[in-house]
Amino acid sequence: MARCGHRVKITANGNSVYAKVVDECDSVEGCDEDHNFEPPCDNNIVDASPAVWDALGLDQNVGMVDITWSEE
């Protein structure tokens, strides 16, 4: 949870946006009730708001796209 409250830079399709981290889940164990019971997932997954998708020019209907992210 060290990233919570901090910004990360997300890049896709040559566009970049800064987004605030609001929570982190354990990718191996999945998430608890406070985090919507998300199932386990691959490492290094970013679940972004519709505003982030729009800012990056991504189609939200695709579901998953390749991005890069870095800490500020």
| Residue stretches of the chain with pLDDT short of 70 | 1, 25-27, 35
Instruction: Give the global pTM.
Output: 0.73
Count of domains for the chain: 1
In a domain, 59, yes or no: yes
In a domain, 55, yes or no: yes
In a domain, 14, yes or no: yes
In a domain, 2, yes or no: no
3-class secondary-structure state, position 55? helix
- Domain span including residue 64: 7-71
**Per-residue pLDDT tens digits for 4-16:** 778 999 999 899 9
CA-based nearest residue to 44, from 67, 15, 12, 16: 67
In a domain, 1, yes or no: no
Cα-to-chain-centroid distance, residue 15: 15
In a domain, 33, yes or no: yes
